[in-house]
Amino acid sequence: MTTTELPLATDDTPEIPSELRQVAEQIAQGQRPVVTVRVLLYWFYGYQRRGRWIVSVIRRACDRLDIKTEPDFDSTFIDGQITFVPKTELKRVVAVATVPMEVTASVSADATLVAPESIAGIAERTPVDPTHRIVRLDIANRPPVSVSPDTTIAEAITIMLMNDFSQLPVMTSDREVKGLFSWKSLGSLWSQGRKCTRAGDAMDRHSEIDIEASLFTAIDLLRQDDCVLVRDRQKRISGIITSYDVSVTFSELSEPFLILDEIENHIRRLIEGNFSKDELSTARDPGDLERRVEDVSDLSLGECMHLIERPGSWEKLRLQIDRAMFIKGLDEIRRIRNDVMHFDPEGTDESDLKRLRDFVGFLQRLQRLGSVRK
């Protein structure tokens, strides 16, 4: 297959990067190219994060080329490796109804048993997993500092003090965990007069979680334990998640939600008292005419924008700022909001977060300067 034979972009499909076209050519020649998710993202307009829009664009481009990634690029670590394969490449399928009972026992473990009627069209299905898995978290893909059972207590304590750790996995290899050495485990033994000379003498049990597990499963485990070790697909310990890590992660994730909420409240404050109930009702989504609109709190951000954009509406707001620039900025906020509300454990793009901070700061200044008159 040559480049000219590959599907070209049309009005309803994205432009396909030359790098992805080259991948499709390699696959046609029997190769299975491997890159990281971050590299794949960069091929598309230099993107660095997986927002809803760019994920959709990449999926459509891959569909046009009849290729996919294993694992799915949207459900694994951003710096993790993905392999490009033909879209129709599946595990060997065996129709259950056509396999005698005595033969079924000899079917290899990598075969997938399905009913015959399910085979038709199975290659065309590309299910998207909506689960928020810990594999996407950086901390789940950062092998922890560990000690061996023979490490002295003094050395283990020094490592924890120098790195501000509360615990250390006690391991004999990247797959074999003996326990968890921590301030709690050491203090508990010392409080009972027990003498400990090695990390192996002062271990507690440890908790583990599979890297493909749900983020919320990890949170449940952290209600019982101070930390959870993560095992990757090769059964190696690939990371450690602590209560502190989760609190920091969710603190970072919550900021854009809180800023967006404040922005929406500022916009509603601009509108409040300046439009009649009938005028507010006309801004309602045409596809939702049964919904009652009593005041501005019943309108979405998009509906508020439609109201402000209408001829004659701007003057009612009595703002001494440029209308076109304000609407353009608000439209950008709406775009960011759509991505933020599509929760992403990687967080919000730093440039988008800056736009949110700048815009809410702008609205705060308007209010302080008295531009919002009641």
Tell me the DSSP string of 84-153. Answer: EEETT--SPEEEGGGS-HHHHTTS-TT-EEE-HHHHTTGGG--------BGGGSGGGGSPPP-B-TTSBH
The pLDDT value given to residue 342: 66
Domain ranges of the chain: 1-87, 90-125, 136-242, 246-368
The pLDDT value given to residue 98: 37
Report if pTM > 0.75.
Answer: no
Instruction: Give the Cα separation of 256 and 33 in Å (integer).
Output: 36
CA distances from 306 to 111, 267, 282, 310 (A): 54, 12, 10, 7
Element of type H or E holding 326: helix 323-340
Nearest to 116 by CA among 100, 102, 97, 101: 97
Instruction: Give the Cα separation of 195 and 38 in Å (integer).
Output: 49
The pLDDT value given to residue 335: 85
Beta strands in the chain (DSSP E): 34-36, 67-70, 81-86, 93-95, 112-114, 167-171, 177-182, 203-204, 208-210, 227-231, 237-242
Residue 31 near residue 53, CB atoms below 8 Å: no
User: Which contacts of 6-11 are long-range, i.e. CB under 8 A and separated by 24 or more positions?
Assistant: 6/65, 7/64, 7/65, 9/64
- ω before 345 within 30° of 0 (cis)? no
Instruction: Give the Cα separation of 296 and 272 in Å (integer).
Output: 6
The pLDDT value given to residue 129: 61
The pLDDT value given to residue 198: 96
The pLDDT value given to residue 94: 37
The pLDDT value given to residue 62: 94
User: What CATH number is given for 136-242 in this structure?
Assistant: 3.10.580.10
The pLDDT value given to residue 13: 52
Question: Which tokens is 348 given?
Answer: 């919000």
Contacts of 231 (CB under 8 A, 6+ apart): 208, 209, 210, 211, 237, 238
CA distances from 60 to 10, 18, 25, 285 (A): 11, 15, 17, 29
The pLDDT value given to residue 138: 87
Instruction: Give the Cα separation of 362 and 266 in Å (integer).
Output: 10
The pLDDT value given to residue 97: 37
* Cβ count within 10 A of residue 128: 9
DSSP 8-class letter at 51 = -
Question: Which tokens is 18 given?
Answer: 């030359």
| 3-class DSSP assignment, residue 207 | coil
pLDDT in tens, the chain (374 residues): 333 333 444 445 558 999 999 999 999 999 999 999 999 999 998 888 887 788 889 999 999 999 999 999 988 999 999 999 998 864 443 333 333 333 333 333 444 444 434 333 333 444 556 677 889 888 999 999 999 999 999 999 999 999 999 999 999 999 999 999 999 999 999 998 888 999 999 999 999 999 999 888 988 899 888 899 999 999 999 999 998 888 887 777 788 889 999 999 999 988 988 999 888 988 888 888 788 888 898 888 888 888 888 878 888 888 888 988 998 999 899 888 877 776 666 667 788 889 999 999 999 998 887 644 44
Residue 316 near residue 270, CB atoms below 8 Å: no
